[in-house]
Structure 1
Amino acid sequence: MALIKRVAILGGTGAQGSSVVRNLSKAGTFEITVPTRNPSSAEAQAVGALSNVKLLQADYLTEAGIRSILANQDGVYFNMNSFAVTEPSVYFWTFRAYEIAVQSGLKLFILPGSINRYKAHGYKEEFRNAHGAISGRLSDWLSSQPTDILPWSILYGGVYAEMLWTLLKPRVRDDGVYEFAAPIGDGNIPFIPLEDYGARVRWIFEHPEAAIGKKLDWGLLYTSYKDLVQAFEETTGKQAVFKDLTQDEWFDRLRVIRAPETKFPDSGLSDDDTTFTWRRTFGAWWNYWKYNDHTRDPKREKEAEAYANEVYPTRLKSIKEWMVANKYTGTR
């Protein structure tokens, strides 16, 4: 297969995308284009200062913007922000970008995706959320497209381990005990360090022949809250407990960050039935993890872990290793 050299990274100023840009920049072999609506923003300026990175003022929610982003590129990492863009727009512009990528002669189209957990649970409404349903549906769609027209890869992800500093951060009780609280029961979360996205995308662009037509889910860190508490205590020497909440209790705690009845994503209108509330979308999100065993495939996970160890031997292999590497203390 022809060399992948010129690449466009959509979402390159965000948390996930900036990890991708940093890793590609370190490689020193790529010409990286990062589209942004606001090149003067602090996030854009930070990635724009990296070696071999060019900022492009463009909007991926317009035909002209997509064409300018994909012009003269070998590959694209197509990561739309479904936390900010409504569901119909994500579908339409992903489909349209795929068509324009074919017209533009791209050699590789990488989509960050996921298991379609909503479908796996029989399309029960309590498992339909915004981000997960979009990601799962688009993964199903792209996996049915022919690779001879446009080679593609789907990169399965998980929950950012860095969320343990934000939404999943423990609170310190009056007795000094760290309380990790969530409506998850005996379920488990597939964590992934943000830096892993960069390492994995770089590997795909460097080894496209090994990734075309595949769904890659390199060794996610499936972690129960019992395991999370144990890793925290062993890492920090601090006492911690897990408190299994109801969803109503968890959303009551969320109010200090976001009112549960506000619209999701942020651009959604109050009368738009294609949007959700934060309560509804994160309620389904928690149902994913509480009943995660229903969608897990132990054989596939073992194969993915072995493959990850082979091609990415320096990766962090447990949430405990992530805590050690990041000097995690439960607070910032």
Structure 2
Amino acid sequence: MAEKQLFVVFGATGAQGSSVVKALLKDGTFKVRGVTRNPCKKAANDLKELGAEIVTGDLDDAESVKSVLTGAYGVFLVTNFLEHFSKEREIKQGKLVADTSKSLGLKHVVFSGLDNVKKLTNGELEVPHYDSKGEVEEYFREIDVPMTSVRLPAYFENLLTHTKPQKAPDGDGYTIAIPMEDVPVRCMSVADLGPMVLSILKSQEQYIGKNINLHTDEVTTEEMATILSKHTGKKIRDAKISIEDYEKQNSAKYKAMANMFRFFKIKSDYNKELTWKLNPKSRTFDEWVKKNTDMLTAILS
């Protein structure tokens, strides 16, 4: 029997990377090398127990990237803008992996990319954590690396962290402050990504060279609040915050996020049908909330 080919996953202990590692291990087609900055953390040990090879890697170090990619068939790359908030650094990291993949002759890169918003809007909107990934997508193509970009929408899981319901100012339950008004938010569970990447790898001739705009559901903030209330038993409502009021929160971060929401309102090239084809077991928002009711209830304090 031929030896399994090696597939490398950066960010193996993060939300995207761990989903990919688990799906590949469960399928068994590839040997999996998970890359993390801290191989001693519990999440890394858990993946090791499932059968992954866990190694230390640094996206800022050329020798480190070359070492973890040597001998690989392909790689899943996710970069973490929130780790440093530097567009330039994220572009440099992505280009380093692109150059190394080219020099080592990797057969398939699956990149967690995003739109180059600044370019698409002729400079009217800048969203640094989008624009950087958009530039990296373009660079992969410029140097002719076989790459598929999976562009994730908002995560359902953001409701556990960045956009979790807050106590209402008037004391009457909780509110969700997502400035999309009546425009549906395209979204998905990041945990459903792994099987999608596996499907792409198993039909690579269909997907190399493509940018796939993923989402499994679309819900307005008001609909989110209704579904959350139904499953948690808590009174949760839409804060009905405008993008302009959201942006007034006096931070470069909020300005960038406000521009992201502006872009969400005009972006239309999501591919729900293909997303469900890549992972037929994906969840709707209602299904995800129902499954995670305990966690959601626990954060409502």
Common fold by TM > 0.5:
yes
SS in 1 for 2:134: helix
Q: Which residue of 1 aligns with 2:267?
A: 295
Q: Distance in 2 between matches of 1:48 and 1:59?
A: 19
Q: Which amino acid aligns with 2:240?
A: D
Q: Distance in 1 between matches of 2:189 and 2:25?
A: 19
Contact 1:157 1:220 in 2 (8 A): no
SS in 2 for 1:244: coil
Q: Distance in 2 between matches of 1:207 and 1:75?
A: 14
Cα shift readout 1:120-159 (whole Å, capped 9, x = no counterpart)? 33312xx32331221223234434553xxx3211111122
Kindly tell me: are residues 291 and 111 of structure 1, through their superposed partners in 2, closer, same or farther at Cα, counting changes over 3 Å? closer
Contact 2:15 2:191 in 1 (8 A): no
Greater RCO, CA 8 A, separation 6+: 1
1:105-184 alignment runs, 5 A limit: 105-124=105-124, 127-146=125-144, 150-173=145-168, 176-184=172-180
Q: Which runs of 5+ in 1 are unaligned?
A: 254-259, 261-278
Q: Which amino acid aligns with 2:39?
A: P
Q: Which amino acid aligns with 2:6?
A: R
TM-score w.r.t. length of structure 1? 0.79
Cα shift readout 1:132-188 (whole Å, capped 9, x = no counterpart)? 221223234434553xxx321111112221110112111244755232223333344
Contact 2:6 2:73 in 1 (8 A): yes
Equivalent pairs, count? 295
C-alpha displacement at 1:101, in angstroms? 1.0
- Larger mean CA deviation between 41-50 and 13-22 belongs to 41-50
C-alpha displacement at 1:323, in angstroms? 0.9
C-alpha displacement at 1:67, in angstroms? 0.8
Q: Distance in 1 between matches of 2:182 and 2:59?
A: 40
Contact 1:170 1:330 in 2 (8 A): no
TM-score w.r.t. length of structure 2? 0.86
RMSD across aligned C-alpha pairs, in angstroms? 2.7
Identical aligned residues as a percent: 22
- Larger mean CA deviation between 172-181 and 68-77 belongs to 172-181
Contact 1:4 1:75 in 2 (8 A): no
SS in 2 for 1:118: helix
C-alpha displacement at 1:230, in angstroms? 2.6
Cα shift readout 1:94-137 (whole Å, capped 9, x = no counterpart)? 2222122122121101111122233333312xx32331221223
Contact 2:126 2:259 in 1 (8 A): no
Q: Distance in 1 between matches of 2:143 and 2:267?
A: 23
- Larger mean CA deviation between 67-76 and 173-182 belongs to 173-182
Q: Distance in 2 between matches of 1:327 and 1:27?
A: 29
SS in 2 for 1:33: strand
Q: Which residue of 2 aligns with 1:281?
A: 253
C-alpha displacement at 1:12, in angstroms? 0.8
C-alpha displacement at 1:199, in angstroms? 1.6
C-alpha displacement at 1:33, in angstroms? 0.9
Q: Distance in 2 between matches of 1:25 and 1:251?
A: 42
SS in 1 for 2:150: strand
Contact 1:189 1:289 in 2 (8 A): no
Higher helix share: 2
Q: Which runs of 5+ in 2 are unaligned?
A: none
